[in-house]
Amino acid sequence: MGRQRVLSGVQPTGNLHLGNYLGAIRNWVEIQSQYENFFCVVDLHAITVPHNPATLANDTYAIAALYLACGIDLQHSTIFVQSHVPAHCELTWLLNCITPLNWLTDMIQFKEKAVKQGENVGVGLLDYPVLMASDILLYQADKVPVGEDQKQHLELTRDIVNRFNHQFAKDESVLKLPEPLIRKEGARVMSLTDGTKKMSKSDPSDMSRINLLDSPEEINKKIKRCKTDPVRGLAFDDAERPECNNLLTLYMLLSGKTKEEVATECADMGWGQFKPLLAETTINALKPIQEKYQGVMDDKGYLESVLRSGREKAEAIANETLTQVKAAMGYALPL
Ligand code: TYM
């Protein structure tokens, strides 16, 4: 039996932050040798909120370069751009027609993002989870490593699979039921300015997040100014101290130390001692990623060749699934 398949993706909207890295990409890197992996840059998702056409292409390349810089290894993994494989849009249409509208209006992310856009909310934002389901299902993925905020979209994907297989594929399931892979630590990295909100690309304040490409000066400044509390001594898991828990978790994940080690090391510290330590640890953890990123971005030809061969591999698998789906739905397939 072949290896199980993994699929995941990130939107090319601005820079990646520590939440994207610790909640998703770092886990992809850690597990990639056990699976056959497909990592896409989901540029079709990026236009579900107003976007800038002048920067979309470059942002797409930047995310692909960051995948490589973070350690995605082409020996185990395929990197490609979602819009380069037309089957993603086509399967989305087919699945749209079997997805009840209220499944989509119930999605937390839709409700949150729709509020921000008022009357201008586009159909694409509502349909975002069906496109995401198509990304996953085209590759018959077994596992989908994501952060906590994507859990509901994965549940919807599973509901769509069950509905499709029930309606169109009674004897032999056509679409595979995927499972989310959500790590406990790092699955929900919180904002630096409010420990009860998740770190997010869409927060208007850049001080709320650390981007993977931030300079040491920016990292120092953001950590120096980040929200803390007046309690002395630092401890994990105190519901009254969300900022403290978040910053200790960042320190733990970026230093590679265990929770127990960090708890002991920081038990008697004040913020004045802890903040420089966290800043230095963050700078050191991001330095190799930033150096590798520059190297990849300086060699556009190489990056293009990675994405070209990624598209070829992805497209072969995606088209096969699409054909099976259309056959199950009763389409007259082109001869
Ligand atoms: P995006 O670009 O918003 O987020 C990419 C990944 O980062 C995770 N993430 C976080 N993890 C921990 N803490 C945070 N504060 C944080 N913020 C973001 C997200 O959970 C995600 O794993 N819809 C997806 C993109 C997508 C996708 C897919 C993912 C499209 N198709 C198919 C998996 C499979 C998203 O939210 O992207």
Strand partners, 77: 37
DSSP annotation of 207 reads G
Name residue, tokens 């997040």. 209
Substitution candidate for ligand 1 out of 146, 155, 201, 249 with most atoms within 8 A of CB: 146
Name residue, tokens 């640890």. 281
Ligand 1 atom nearest to 141, measured from its CA:
34
Q: pTM here?
A: 0.96
Could you give the CA distance from residue 203 to residue 187 in angstroms, rounded to a whole number? Answer: 18
Task: Choose the catalytic residue: 113, 176, 313, 326.
Answer: 113
Q: Tell me if residue 275 is catalytic.
A: no
335 residues of the chain, pLDDT tens digit each: 689 999 999 999 867 999 999 999 999 999 999 999 999 999 999 999 889 999 999 999 999 999 999 999 999 999 999 999 999 999 999 999 999 999 999 999 999 888 888 878 899 999 999 999 999 999 999 999 999 999 999 999 999 999 999 999 977 789 999 999 999 889 999 999 999 999 999 899 999 999 999 999 999 999 999 999 999 899 998 889 999 999 999 999 999 999 999 999 999 999 999 999 999 999 999 999 999 999 999 999 999 999 999 999 999 999 999 999 999 999 998 88
Substitution candidate for ligand 1 out of 41, 128, 149 with most atoms within 8 A of CB: 149
Ligand 1 atom nearest to 20, measured from its CA:
7
Could you give the CA distance from residue 247 to residue 274 in angstroms, rounded to a whole number? Answer: 9
Among 275, 231, 222, which Cα is nearest to 251's?
A: 275
Sheet holding 179-181, edge to edge: 77-81, 36-41, 5-10, 143-145, 179-181
SS3 state at 177: coil
Strand partners, 8: 39
198 CB-side CA count, 13 A:
18
